[in-house]
Chain A
Amino acid sequence: MNTIVCVKRVPDSATRVRVTPDGAGLDPAGVKYVVNPYDEFALEDAIRRKEEAGEGKVTVVALGPPQTAESIRQALAMGADEGILLACEGSHDALSVARALADEIRGREVDLVLFGKQAIDDDNMQVPQMVAEFLGLPCATVVVGLEIAGRDATARREVEGGHEVVEFSLPAVVSTQKGLNEPRYPSLKGIMAAKRKPLDEREVTLDAPSIEFLRLDEPPAPAAGRIVGKGADAVPELVRALRDEAGVL
């Protein structure tokens, strides 16, 4: 089975986000970048399927600035076979990114295209569905269970208060959610091997989006709260405040 896993380089979730004074975007100073955490579930799924089948290829595709090559190397260190970097600067809306990814994937022999369910930087949760539409493929999102028998796939996707069971045929696009598996850490051997794996890099130009980015702001600082007291003795004051001041009880 041939799998394409799309990954994104994002600021680590422990990042303290600072916006540049002109509101143009995130101030990159001191920001640690990682492979988007949800993409790790996609990578693990693809690599595990390949290992279990004893055949197939896992190709990593990433779109982003040149430094995204580090994220691809990490995916290769986990066990993916080859990487493709679609290099472009700036941040882009999901539709343009999806178009560029679909253009890259179209025409390739692929059984499964995997994504993390969302990137933790722009939190769009859109690209997998859009890529599937552009390619005319089935798409299951927010998947926590995936069984494949021949060309038939059954996915369990997380919904409010439960799960949906979704059936479709391969090739297909699937976006993965925490709970699907436990992603591995790259081994030292994997890290060494990744240095010799092919990584194809080319520049892409994205379409103009139908939504314009105007600015980024930090959220207003939370209004100063107060400590109502210590221990169980402070419970009556807390409940009074919630009921009479805040009006939420």
Chain B
Amino acid sequence: MPGALAYAEIREGTVSRASREAVGLARRIAADAGGETHVVALGPPGTEAAAAQLAGFGADRTWVGESEALALSQPDIAAAAIARLVEAGDYDAVIFAATAQGRDIAPRVGARLGRSVASEVVECRREDGAIVVRRPMYAGKAIATLRFTPGPAVMTIRANVFAPVEESAAGQVSSLDLEGLEGRVRTTALEQGDRDRLDVSEATTIVSGGRGMQGPEHWPLLEALVEALGDEAALGASRAVVDAGWRPHGEQVGQTGKTVSPNLYFAVGISGAIQHLAGMRTAKVIVAINRDADAPIFGVADYGLVGDVFEVLPALTDAVREARWGS
């Protein structure tokens, strides 16, 4: 029976949330066909121990490749190893999380297999045996429906859309043969920024600031709200404030920044240009805080608050802190 394969990223001994979602989707696809869920995990010696966690997320078998170089992401080695596994195996789907690694590696695998790739998939189902996916285009202003021809369906999936499964499976660990695989690029360092701060693409709650914040010196007000919202929250920014140099472009949400789907999105002092709305409209709950009651952002917000951000933010931060932590 054809199975499905997922690529798991292991960071500091833990399988990332996004990877657990990829494994979960692989499990659902495999279960449809009565096949097995396989996972590839690459890392430095000792990765096998972390890979054992994957049994709790539905992995029937985990292929573990270990080498010193794999302490960092080596996309060519990953792509070659995965392509080799897929060619030798029987997989209906090859699933990556749409992370920096997944987006880098999946197209290399697709090219090696001669298979098209669907990026940032948000829905996946079977129709008459074929795998049909839906994915946003134009930064979410439209949704495309695509059907894979017979053969492995290679895809990346958007974070925070598919739920991980928490089902115990056999979780057999097999060693992945990396013999003779070399990278044309070598990743030599990972420079972590402020690790206390989550990247906007990984956060389940986002607080984004726009021009209405009136200057970079007022960002501590947003940072305080992020802190009150907890570990899963991150700062975002509109294009206007990034272009003005107030914030780094890594925080930019929108069509020329990051497209995000958090559970909760605060747009603070953001008017709601089309390109910004495109990047955040799939957030599950949107809160807009803006002085201008006619701002387009209120058209997509679930909850709007009309007011001066400098007056509202400190009160909101206190109230959130109290609601979450009781103090």
Which A positions have Cβ atoms within 8 angstroms of B? 11, 13-17, 19, 26, 37-38, 93-96, 98, 120-130, 132-134, 136-142, 156-168, 172, 178-179, 209-219, 222-223, 225-232, 234-236, 238-239, 241-243, 246, 248-249
B320 near A239 with CB under 8 A, answer yes
- The reply to whether B110 and A222 form a contact with Cβ atoms under 8 Å apart is no
Chain B residues positioned under 8 Å from A122 (CB to CB)? 137, 144
B163 at the A interface (CB under 8 A)? no
Are A238 and B305 in contact, with the CB atoms below 8 A?
yes
- Cβ contacts B266-305/A at 8 Å (1 or 0 each): 0000000111001001101111000001000011111111
Determine whether the beta carbon of B316 is less than 8 Å from that of A235.
yes
CB pair B308–A231 under 8 Å, yes or no, is: yes
Expressed in whole angstroms, the minimum distance between the Cβ of B318 and any Cβ of chain A is 8
Q: Is B190 an interface residue (CB 8 A)?
A: yes
Q: Is the CB of B307 within 8 A of A231?
A: yes
Contacting pair A130 B303 (CB below 8 A): no
B185: contacting residue among A139, A142, A156, A217, CB under 8 A: A139
Instruction: Contacts A14-B275, A17-B142, A212-B149 given; indicate if A129 touches B107 (C-beta within 8 A).
Output: yes
Per DSSP, chain A at the interface is mixed
Q: A124-B117, A164-B73 are in contact. Are A213 and B144 (CB under 8 A)?
A: yes
The interface residues of chain B lying within 8 Å CB-to-CB of A157 are 100
User: How near does chain B come to A208, taking the closest CB pair, in angstroms?
Assistant: 9
* Chain A residues, CB < 8 A from B142: 17, 19, 26, 216-219
- Given A160-B202, A212-B147, A249-B320; A17-B138 close (CB under 8 Å): yes
- The residue that A17 contacts in the complex, of B79, B104, B112, B141, with Cβ under 8 A, is B141
Q: Which residues of A contact B323 (CB under 8 A)?
A: 239, 242-243, 249
* B90: interface (CB < 8 Å): no
Assuming the A-B contacts A13-B255, A37-B256, A120-B255, are A211 and B100 also in contact, with contact meaning beta carbons closer than 8 angstroms in the complex?
Answer: no
B264 touches which one: A38, A214, A215, A248 (CB < 8 A)? A248
Assess A159 versus B190: contact at CB under 8 Å? Given A122-B137, A167-B185, A216-B144: yes
Residues of A near B190 (CB, < 8 A) are 159, 162-165
Bound CA–CA A205/B39 (angstroms): 37
Question: What total count of A-B pairs have CB within 8 Å?
Answer: 283
CB contact between A98 and one of B111, B136, B286 (< 8 Å): that residue: B111
List of A residues within 8 angstroms of B249 by Cβ: 178-179
- Which positions 78-127 of chain B face chain A at CB distance < 8 Å? 79, 99-101, 103-104, 106-108, 110-112, 114-120
**Contact B138–A214 (Cβ < 8 Å):** no
Interface contact A95-B298, CB-CB below 8 Å: no
Interface stretch of the complex, out of B48-56, B192-200, B212-220 = B192-200
Chain A contacts for B282, CB-based, 8 A: 219
Give chain A nearest CB distance to B82 CB in angstroms.
13
Q: Does A13 contact B119, Cβ atoms closer than 8 Å?
A: no
Tell me, rounded to whole Å, the shortest Cβ–Cβ distance linking A86 to chain B. 18
Most B C-beta atoms less than 10 A away, residue of A124, A128, A235: A235
Chain A residues near B139: list those with CB within 8 A: 13, 120, 123
Q: Are A161 and B185 in contact (CB under 8 A)?
A: no
Q: Given A178-B249, A178-B256, A248-B285, decide whether A14 and B312 contact each other with a Cβ distance below 8 A.
A: no
Bound-complex Cα distance A15 to B304 (A): 25
Taking the closest CB of chain A, its distance from the CB of B93, in whole angstroms, is 12
Q: Compute how far the CA of A159 lies from the CA of B76 in the bound complex, rounded to whole angstroms.
A: 17
Residues on B with C-beta less than 8 A from A246 are 264, 284-285, 302-303
Which residues from B are CB-within-8-Å of A142?
Answer: 100, 103-104
Q: Cα distance A116–B135 when bound, in Å?
A: 20
Identify the closest chain A residue to B104 (Cβ): A141
Whole-angstrom distance between the Cβ of B58 and the nearest chain A Cβ: 24
**B201 interface residue (CB < 8 Å to A):** yes
Q: Is B293's CB under 8 angstroms from A227's CB? A: yes
- Given contact pairs A94-B116, A159-B190, A238 touches B303 in the complex (Cβ within 8 A): yes
**Which B residue's beta carbon lies closest to that of A178?**
B249
Determine which of B146, B255, B257, B302 lies in contact with A211 in the assembled complex, contact meaning CB atoms within 8 Å.
Answer: B146
With CB as the reference atom, state the residue of chain B lying closest to A142: B100
Chain A residues positioned under 8 Å from B195 (CB to CB): 161-162
Q: Which B residues lie within 8 Å of A14 (CB)?
A: 273-275
User: Does B170 make an interface contact (CB < 8 A)?
Assistant: no
Name which residue of chain B comes closest to A122, CB basis. B137
A164 to B281, CA, bound (A): 30
Q: How far is B303's CA from A123's CA once the two chains are assembled, in angstroms?
A: 29
Verify A219–B141 contact, CB threshold 8 A. yes
Tell me if B143 counts as interface (CB < 8 A to partner A). Answer: yes
5 A-B pairs in the complex with CB atoms less than 8 angstroms apart: A26-B142, A137-B184, A172-B184, A179-B250, A225-B300
Given contacts A94-B116, A211-B146, A211-B147, contact A130 B273 (CB under 8 A): no
Q: How far is the CB of A144 from chain B (nearest CB, A)?
A: 8
Q: Is B311 an interface residue (CB 8 A)?
A: yes
CB distance from B96 to the nearest CB of A (A): 12
- How far, in whole Å, are A16 and B138 apart by their CA atoms in the complex? 10
- The contact of B116 among A38, A132, A210, A236, by CB within 8 Å, is A210
On chain B, the residues within 8 Å of A94 by CB distance are 107, 110, 116-117
